[in-house]
Structure 1
Amino acid sequence: MELKEKIILHFEGKVVRKDLTALVKGNNPVPAYVLEFLLGQYCAIDDEEIIKQGVDKVRTVIKDNYVHRSDAETVKHKIRSQGTYKIIDKINVHLNDGAANVYEAQFANLGISKIPIAENMVSNNPKLLSGGGVWCILTMAYSHDEEASVRWLVVDLKPIQVANVNLEEYIDKRAAFTASEWTDLLMHSIGLKPEYFNQRDKFIQLSRLIPHVENNYNFIELGPKGTGKSHIFSELSPHGVLVSGGDVSKARLFVNNTGRGAIGLVGYWDVVALDEFEQEKGSKRTDGDLVKIMQNYMANQSFNRGKETYQATASMAFVGNTKHNVPYMLKNSHLFESIPEGYIKGAFLDRMHMYVPGWEVRILKSNVFSNEYGFIVDYIAELLRELRKYDYATILDEYVILDGSLTTRDKTAIRKSFSGMMKLLYPHKQVSEEEALVVLDFCMEGRKRVKDQLYIIDETFKAEPVEFSYKINSSGKVVISETLENLNYKAELQVQEEEEEQTTQETSQEPILNLKPHQQILKDNQTGISYKKLFANYLKGAFNLTLQDPYIRLPYQFKNLLEFCVMLGYNKDPEVEINLEVITWNNEEYQQDSIAYLEELAETVQELGIHLTYRLEHHHDRFIAADNGWKITLGRGLDIFEKIEGRFNIADVDQNRRKCKSCEMTYLKI
């Protein structure tokens, strides 16, 4: 059964086709969860005629009821002339504790304020008081009574959110999907086509949901513009609020001591995200007291204002842009260099549970946005909110023991990140050791990225170095974690060193190689890898080679084979000839294509001194075997690189610049 059919079978009425949101949005500045709330009511089914009617209905609702600021006076006229009229607007409510002693609403787009609102409406919807604004469907009325002190009346109010969700049903239905299918469903749900992302890319995108599913989670993502960093925090949940990082204050975030003493955003929202969290030229100086209060809140889930201590569960997310590329930051500064200077303090940054490498996220273009079915965002938002009550970190203890040198904050960060990812990917808690370790590696890297920078920023952290590693319970194997940017930077330096060595060796004696059996593990998106680096030393001196790879079928895979042959050609003296046997496979209807490609390749590489022969036989194993005694098993065969994007890309001519797919290689002496 295809994923689309499986999604509709199990979640009909709770999913919507994601391209419909863009269809009805147009130029309207309406959050996705508002639009999908409406789409879910009219076209959450796989029937083209019903969908067409539903889209038309939603467009009509937006046209007739959504309040555009430019049309506010027209809408007021409709309310006044018709007596009552339904509108969609974002409202804030506060208590007028003067002589009036009433709650009053302010309408963001309609442009009216100090409108009395019934106390029971506020009691039923306390988030109206948060200051962040809540999108609602409201029935408004107008009073023509000459004695009326207020003309505008709120007759009925309905916050835009689903009425209820069944978490147990959601968890039960998760079991019907494989891990890959469920991950892809979540990717569709946040509006992205999963086929454009590898597993690591998907984890990075979905990690932005951890603050929505974990209480008191501290998340930061810095990277280039245009990668969708703030989208999830502004569009995909009515329980999160996005505010400008340069527009926050103690009163707005926590408590207003000078005014009514009202609690701030952290008291009402599940997630408070600070957008554009970066240091700008000429920006005002960071409030040191705000940093201290935030630092205490991020560590202890509480804050003091005046004589009172307040508890809250809101997660904090910080999203901003980087000023330099990663190699520059690694060499000259640190990965937090772009945030406001007042926050670049060890004690504050140590509270961060995960630092997501935003520089790895591709700039989002129209072709990567989903046109398939995903959860109605308001539905998934309610489920994530419900899951905040549970702790999934104990799953980790079944499989590993974290290294004892890790601090309590390190372990807490790793465990909270792991718990959040488990709730997203495996809410039914059915996860294998291998699957759990993949998630753990991602979570450990997210915390290690923070700790590596703390060693640079604050000397006191160097006094107690830690090792980011864990021991697998089942095997006793110890796994050491490393961040991808460190691996890539070291690989780039190594390439430069090798080129310098090559220049030196051209006038000196050939070095003695000390090769040992070992295992090589490549991560998704790792760079600085080439066939030369992986294979050249181990194949040197060989005259007869066998390459078995059943998946040399598509044009780019034959290009990989050509590049492998070029590496072999440069790896030997010009007068030496090598026999290369290629064992591969293709489906019967395409075998003639494969033969044509292989024949052409054999002719081309002849001038390199390589005699290429081939056999079309179906074998699962992938390896390189050489008559110099080395055998290299290949997890993915030669197909280790991600697809190269664009027509003009440095990676197209330099393997070291290409992103890798995750895989393992084992080097054996036979």
Structure 2
Amino acid sequence: MSEILTPEALNQKVSQVFGRLAIDKRRLPSSQLNRRSVPAYVAEWLLDTLVPGEGPVTPTELGKIQAWADRFLPLPDESKILKNRLLNGEVVKVLTPVEVEIVLTRRAKERVAQLKLLGLTDVHIANGIVEEYPDLLKQGMWGVIELMDTQEGIALTSFKPMQASVNLDIFKEKRAAFSLDEWRALLLTSMGYNPWAFDEREKTYLLCRLLPLVEKNLHLLELAPKGTGKSYLYENINPRVRLISGGNVSPAVLFVNNASGQWGLLARFAVVVLDEVQTLKFEKPQEIVGGLKGFLANGRLTRGGLYETASPCSLVMLANIMLDSEQRPVLSPLVRELPEFLQETAFLDRLRGILPGWKVSKLSGGSFAQGVGLKSDFFGDALLALREDVSANQLASHAINLKGKKLYKRNEDAVRLLASGLMKLQFPHGQVSPEDFEMYCVRPAVELRQLVWEQLYVLDAEYRQYDEEIQYEPI
């Protein structure tokens, strides 16, 4: 770049180019909406609706937000108050996530809404709402609802979704207004990070956390110590991303419930994230790893042969790792800290890459976004829309060729998919020089896959018949 990139100049440019699709990220922390268990993509929508502006939220704006939240965004411990209002005959209007289940039994055939934040289940839902918003049957949706007490019980009579409208062509066109440094800084700010708090290599690792959103069936393992924000992004990016943190994980939860026929999380979400896998309780671990091996290999879900479907879901596993005094991993191979059944080489081989989160600085107060970025609801939807853009996949397929005496096909497939995702993130408009494609797409892709390959090479002699180092032909 001929000019030095500054936060002030970038803020001004992002606001000018993206207009109402941009938001000052300083407003969210000062709004105190995080106390209401509201993800960023909902909170920023609220802020722009109630108190649009720049800079931290003012005391006057904060009062307006709190007044609205007290009325329409009840806290979890206020569910009894809400139920009492319904009992008194009030029509209650609230903002909440809604999921819909289908009940098909001999005694009942109906649709029921699950309002978990409000402590309400089996809520009758008016005809037509599910047909108009089918995502209620998949991952659920956030929206403003109206509830009332009827002869059939509590009923959801109105639903107004909170959602962005994404025009991917506009998103791509606006990329052309930015240099690569500016665009990378904008992506990081939109993720909730302060790009000026990280060096260039750390920025690339942070951007790699977005790869499972922009590519179908891109499966990652991130290893990092506590405090590097592994789960921060996934909690706040999009309702089609599901973070599992704590509790039991069963084959029915992940794949399909054979008793009811209801598909699990891997069929209903775009990205499923298993947070702190060392602390999760896995039921029937051998059945889980067996099902995951098939899914990671071919994108198909099944359980016992009773049901089968294809799914584009990407799986992300987050795990803590111990470091020595020089901030290097203590154990070798790296996967030794995973549950034993997840150390199986046939399973690890199907992961596209390992993200070295230990190379990213621990988050501090200055690590979070302090400038103008894209609104989380628009940003997350744009990333997921990039999954359908195959031009980057075609480029990676033709431009990347591994070299060596004996190559391993899964390495080549993984490198191409990772590089394609990095191009979609950094060059969505398709304009990239061979030098930038190699530097910012191919090299990081090889690094992430090489970490998988090193684990396989150490754990299983079968893999040692192939080249130890992944190398590629110059572009």
TM-score, length-normalised on structure 1?
0.65
Match of 1:465 among 464, 467, 474: 467
Q: Distance in 1 between matches of 2:262 and 2:34?
A: 37
Whether contact under 8 Å (2:302, 2:309) holds in the other structure is yes
Q: Secondary structure in 2 aligned to 1:229?
A: coil
Cα 1:133–1:170 change in 2 (3 A) is closer
RMSD: 2.5
Paired residue for 1:75? Answer: 82
Larger radius of gyration: 1
Other-structure match for 2:394: 394
| Aligned residue number for residue 340 of structure 1 | 339
Q: What letter matches 1:200 in structure 2?
A: R
How far does the alpha carbon of each residue in 1:487-522 deviate from its partner, in whole angstroms, 9 at most, with x for none?
xxxxxxxxxxxxxxxxxxxxxxxxxxxxxxxxxxxx
| Preserved contact between residue 270 and residue 313 of structure 2 (Cα < 8 Å) | yes
Q: Distance in 2 between matches of 1:399 and 1:266?
A: 31
CA distance in 2, matches of 1:48, 1:21: 8
- The 5 A counterparts of 1:166-177 are 166-177=167-178
| Aligned counterpart, 1:353 | 352
Structure-to-structure mapping, 1:445-594, within 5 angstroms: 445-473=447-475
* Superposed counterparts of 1:36-435, under 5 Å: 36-46=44-54, 56-81=63-88, 83-98=90-105, 99-130=107-138, 134-143=141-150, 148-150=151-153, 152-162=154-164, 164-244=165-245, 247-258=248-259, 260-278=260-278, 287-305=285-303, 306-325=305-324, 333-391=332-390, 392-396=392-396, 400-403=400-403, 405-435=406-436
Query: Are residues 249 and 177 of structure 1, via their aligned partners in 2, closer, same or farther at CA, if it must alter by over 3 Å?
Result: same
Q: Go from structure 1 to structure 2 and tell me whether the alpha carbon gap of 1:48 and 1:134 turns closer, same or farther (over 3 Å shift).
A: closer
Equivalent AA in structure 2 for residue 66 of structure 1: L
Q: Secondary structure at the match of 1:13?
A: helix
Give the SS at the match of 2:121.
coil
Q: What is the CA-CA distance between 1:387 and the residue it aligns to?
A: 0.8
Question: Quick one: structure 1 residues 400 and 320, their matched pair in 2 at CA, closer, same or farther if it must change by over 3 Å?
Answer: closer
Q: Is the 8 A contact 1:39 1:55 kept in 2?
A: no
- How far residue 248 of structure 1 moved from its aligned partner, in angstroms, is 1.5
Query: 1:78 deviation in Å?
Result: 3.6
SS in 1 for 2:220: strand
Q: Is the 8 A contact 2:146 2:156 kept in 1?
A: yes
Contact 1:171 1:428 in 2 (8 A): yes
**SS of match in other structure, 1:337:** helix
How many aligned residue pairs are there?
462
Structure 2 residue identity aligned to 1:445: E
SS of corresponding position for 1:113: strand
8 Å CA contact 1:15–1:375 kept in 2: the answer is yes
One-letter identity of the residue aligned with 2:385: E
CA contact (8 A) 1:223 1:357 kept: yes
Partner of 2:41: 33
The one-letter code matched in structure 2 to 1:465 is D
How far the C-alpha of 1:243 sits from its partner, in A, is 1.0
The AA in structure 2 aligned to 1:347 is A
Paired letter, 2:264: G
Distance 1:371 1:329 in 2: 30
Report the Cα distance in structure 2 between the residues aligned to 1:298 and 1:268, rounded to whole angstroms.
16
Change (3 A) 1:107 1:396: closer
1:14 and 1:40 in contact (8 A); partners too: no
Structure 1 unpaired stretches of 5+: 474-670
Question: Matches of 2:433 and 2:242 in 1, distance apart?
Answer: 35
Quick check: 1:20–1:55 contact (8 Å CA) kept in 2?
Answer: no
Write the deviation string for residues 84-131 of structure 1: whole angstroms up to 9, x where unpaired.
Answer: 22112233321121223111122212212211113432233333334x
CA separation in 1, counterparts of 2:18 and 2:51?
13
SS at match of 1:451: helix
Q: 1:279 to 1:390 in 2, by over 3 A?
A: same
- Residues 460-497 of structure 1 show CA distances to partners (whole Å, capped at 9, x for unaligned) of 11122343112224xxxxxxxxxxxxxxxxxxxxxxxx
Distance 2:160 2:201 in 1: 39
Q: Distance in 2 between matches of 1:243 and 1:417?
A: 24
- Structure 1 match to 2:4: none
Structure 2 SS opposite 1:217: coil
SS in 2 for 1:429: coil
Counterparts of 1:292 and 1:465, CA distance in 2:
27
Please give the secondary structure, in 2, of the residue aligned with 1:313: coil
Report the residue type matching 2:67 in the other structure. Answer: T
Contact 1:406 1:467 (8 Å CA) reproduced: no
Quick one: distance in 1 between partners of 2:230 and 2:360? 9
What is the deviation of 1:343? 1.1
Contact kept in structure 1, 2:27 and 2:54, CA below 8 Å: no
Identity rate of aligned residues, in percent?
A: 30
Letter in 2 for 1:149: E
What is the rounded CA distance, in whole Å, between the counterparts of 1:54 and 1:399 in structure 2?
52
CA gap 1:104/1:388 in 2 versus in 1, 3 angstroms: same
Counterpart AA for 1:21? L
Report the CA distance between 1:191 and its aligned residue. Answer: 1.2
Q: Residues 12-63 of structure 1: CA distance to partner in whole angstroms, max 9, x if unpaired? A: 11111112111222522211111012123244554889x8766544333222
Give ranges in structure 2 of 5+ residues lacking alignment.
1-7
Paired AA for residue 319 in structure 1: L
Aligned counterparts of 1:442 and 1:284: Cα–Cα separation in 2: 32
Q: Secondary structure at the match of 1:27?
A: helix
8 Å contact 2:407–2:466 — kept in the other structure?
A: no
In 2, Cα distance between the equivalents of 1:185 and 1:35?
A: 19
Aligned amino acid, residue 314 of structure 1: C
Closer/same/farther in 2, CA of residues 206 and 341 from structure 1, 3 Å limit = same
Give the superposition deviation at 1:252. Answer: 0.9
DSSP 3-state at the match of 2:401: strand
Q: Which amino acid aligns with 2:452?
A: V
- Inter-CA distance 400–304: structure 2 relative to 1 (3 Å threshold): closer
Contact 1:94–1:129 (Cα < 8 Å) also in 2:
yes
Distance 2:369 2:113 in 1: 37
Shift of residue 434 of structure 1?
A: 2.1
Query: Closer, same or farther in 2 for the Cα pair 1:133/1:190, shift >3 Å?
Result: same
Contact 1:187 1:193 in 2 (8 A): yes
Tell me the CA shift for residue 357 of structure 1: 0.5
Deviations 1:198-222 (A, max 9, x none): 1111111111111111111101101
8 Å CA contact 1:192, 1:368 repeated in 2: yes
- Structure 1 residue 457, shift from structure 2 partner: 1.4
